Structure 1
């Protein structure tokens, strides 16, 4: 998953490759007040929100600059691709894969 950083918040895009339905992880976020997120070796509890209006436009442009295929993804679907902003609340333990 590609992520960006805007104003100290992490941005993730619920594009699902331009599919006509939202990804399941986005539906899970809608049901939660806070999230546990891990990026590489940094794990944290985060609050989430969706940017609105002018801020949404600016964040969308930033994410399309980072990953231009988002433009085609939006053109291929009638749904508005959601943007999710994550704000760090506190560090948490990292998840590690077990080795066999």
Structure 2
């Protein structure tokens, strides 16, 4: 079943921070919109690498708190399918 709304960001992040047992990574769900039968476009990925860290890094506790707080403010968007599944900019990308 394809959801009507897609989670695309948390808090001030333009992506979804995922905390795991070894650290954290940022995941951009907007990169896989076609899997949800929605129109694909180029998402914001600037700063995505800064989201990654391991629990060995300096200030990891602050980063965990920041990412946990971001999950308290999730942003969703309606799935949309109009015409072509990709934008011309996506093909160029």
TM over 0.5: no
Structure 1 length-normalised TM: 0.29
Bigger fraction of residues in strand: 1
